[in-house]
Structure 1
């Protein structure tokens, strides 16, 4: 018999402003401990040295993680010009350098090639799998891999500051799977001067903003106290990009049992993905067909 997981049945989202030097997994473990939660996960890994919004899903909210992962997100980062590193950030070894320093206009012109649907090669030190093994593990052994390019949607990429000749501050809004380190590396190549990420901050992700996030110190101070619960956002926040379809109590019962349920639809078409609600609470996510929602995920929050 499987051992029952200990902890509170608590569902929702807790937004953390992740500090530098802490892994995303460590943040999730800290939140789970502080809330004594049975289940927790995060929506999108941040590198250990990166800071900013890390949305932690609790309980049934973990079923909405894919919708936050797929949502647009924004990063503010500083690129150090003149040096390439083997990790594409400041943690790695310098592997190439240049005395060339482009002008602001040259940088702005180069940024245009990284906007829209682009093809991006992940860093050698990344979590992508090569023949079943994480790339960073093979890179640590000194192996240089041929990593296939992946599509990335970049909504916006702006030069926001140029404090000196060696540093450029940029802001990028992009879709799922973007590597800021790859942007810095490829921008340096395009400018002919090399480059790597010096500092990185995720300023928002989907509906979650870093300015609204708790610090790790806040989490420690409020651990095991009702005050921390008051900062939890409802699991429905993770469904903000999907249309909401109210249902009847009878429809909710059918949906919770995994069957199609009647919903009231006005802004969706046949085959659209949506979520059903009863009194504002999420019941299920699924596909709308002929007046019914066919569930793919059911929420057990009652």
Structure 2
């Protein structure tokens, strides 16, 4: 007789270094199994060929994942010049080839054109939805869907190395930026074509790659040591103003009722704690001074 493993209602944030060759969801499921977690989700999808920082939210932390999805990101990427592929990366079939004869100055000048607000057309091989299905499902069926260009921002684009037909860059960008599309667009500007050969995410918001743990490392730990690697759910809310509620206000707020607090210098979304400095949730301050609940913590956290 087989016994089903009991799932734990743990809450927290795991900063995982996703390995090459598996999807973000595949990494999530492995981490969820190791933690025996009842509920989990990841923030910021990485393709199987990409590695690096993948925050995984367990339990109550999933309620605040949007704040990390909206955060800026930093990547280290390798672009292959002189070739284009069907997917814009090394997984696709080569669609064109051209000799590369470029100077360092030409490459640096071309990169400068992409710094700041730009528009990108999302790739067909992406998880964006059209009529309820991911674009990549249409692409695999040979169907091309018209996509509107979307605004994104490249905060910085640094050339790390350039030799022959290969260049390495560090990109700091806004949410929604496709590094594959950046490679293809750069290839068009240079006149030789290009695709993304490798990608590693090194930062999301205030989180850095040096804070991560691998699946292999987690597998070698006992459950208590794994739990010690979790950050509290409110680590996702570091940029928001914080308010301490008295006992009565915390009680009513936890019941889903708006509360009124005079002389607030904040506006918009705030993080609320009780007198014991336990996270209560997040709320939004209205013009009349009332704070309405938006997301509430309903169980204890790790």
Which band: TM-score by shorter chain?
Answer: over 0.9
Q: Is the 8 Å Cα contact of residues 74 and 202 (structure 2) preserved in structure 1?
A: yes
SS of the aligned residue for 2:78 comes to strand
Aligned to 1:63: 63
Which ranges of structure 2 fall in alignment gaps of 5 or more residues?
Answer: none
- 1:142 is displaced (CA, Å) by 2.0
**What is the TM-score of this pair, normalised by structure 2?**
0.92
- 1:129 is displaced (CA, Å) by 2.0
Q: Distance in 1 between matches of 2:76 and 2:250?
A: 42
Determine whether 1:227 maps to 2:225: yes
Q: Distance in 1 between matches of 2:101 and 2:253?
A: 60
- 1:36 is displaced (CA, Å) by 0.9
Q: Distance in 2 between matches of 1:168 and 1:264?
A: 56
- 1:144 is displaced (CA, Å) by 2.9
Aligned to 1:255: 253
Aligned to 1:287: 284
Q: Distance in 2 between matches of 1:37 and 1:134?
A: 27
Check 1:145–1:170 CA distance in 2 against 1; reply closer, same or farther (3 A cut): same
Q: Distance in 1 between matches of 2:70 and 2:118?
A: 17
Determine whether 1:275 maps to 2:274: no
SS of the aligned residue for 1:108 comes to helix
- 1:161 is displaced (CA, Å) by 1.5
Q: Distance in 1 between matches of 2:166 and 2:62?
A: 38
- 1:27 is displaced (CA, Å) by 1.1
- 1:6 is displaced (CA, Å) by 5.4
Q: Spell out, residue by residue over 1:176-233, the C-alpha distance to the aligned partner (whole angstroms, 9 max, x if none).
A: 111110100111111111001111000011122222111110121125x211000000
The 5 A counterparts of 1:1-302 are: 7-162=7-162, 164-222=163-221, 225-262=223-260, 267-269=265-267, 272-278=268-274, 279-289=276-286, 290-302=288-300
Which ranges of structure 1 fall in alignment gaps of 5 or more residues?
Answer: none
Q: Is the 8 Å Cα contact of residues 264 and 289 (structure 2) preserved in structure 1?
A: no
**Once superposed, what is the RMSD of the aligned Cα atoms?**
1.8
Q: Is the 8 Å Cα contact of residues 263 and 276 (structure 1) preserved in structure 2?
A: no
- 1:10 is displaced (CA, Å) by 0.8
- 1:291 is displaced (CA, Å) by 4.2
Q: Is the 8 Å Cα contact of residues 121 and 148 (structure 2) preserved in structure 1?
A: yes
Q: Is the 8 Å Cα contact of residues 100 and 164 (structure 2) preserved in structure 1?
A: no
Q: Spell out, residue by residue over 1:75-109, the C-alpha distance to the aligned partner (whole angstroms, 9 max, x if none).
A: 01000000010100001001112113322222222
Q: Distance in 2 between matches of 1:53 and 1:215?
A: 10
- 1:146 is displaced (CA, Å) by 2.2
- 1:31 is displaced (CA, Å) by 1.2
Aligned pairs, number: 294
Q: Spell out, residue by residue over 1:58-83, the C-alpha distance to the aligned partner (whole angstroms, 9 max, x if none).
A: 00000110000001110010000000
